[in-house]
Structure 1
């Protein structure tokens, strides 16, 4: 920026640095839970009156690129952090997913089986 007037001139230079990871990746996400490829995780019926537990369900979140010869996504070569969100905004807390509309106090505990996850 150059300001001139009244015989005075002022020069100012501002330097701004941007940092970004640019990746050309077509990463797809699939939830493997029931073996049908529906990407849905379905639990049994929970009856609050009986308080009988619902058996836990294991599931795997798979990330892949169509036509790739190796598993995973090349996007992780640039940025190695991925975040998974469960539930809607405001449903997830530090101990699990708080379900709404399914009854008061019903909670679904979501945790990684892999210690590195």
Structure 2
């Protein structure tokens, strides 16, 4: 592939995305200004709230996946096994185990809150 074409594609994509975001921002501003002119109160943007249950779920999932990768590395180093099946199996197993652990932790937290 021609190097000039290889540079044009990402640059064009970035320019298009930035342009689209600018147009969306302009229309959002025009809508808010029209609401103010009509005497309506525009909705306020709410700040991002973190759901503690979601944070717990994702944290346990990623810890399980990390532990699965770690264990797969250990088993591959100790024993000459085929890593093609070892990595996905342990990642999925410990990721699911992390989700189960987060479920039971959330269950206990909900019971304690009652």
TM score, norm. by length of structure 1? 0.24
TM-score (norm 2): 0.24
Structure number with the higher strand fraction is 1
**Higher relative contact order (Cα pairs below 8 Å, separated by 6+ residues):** 2
Between Structure 1 and Structure 2, which shows a larger proportion of helix residues? Answer: 2
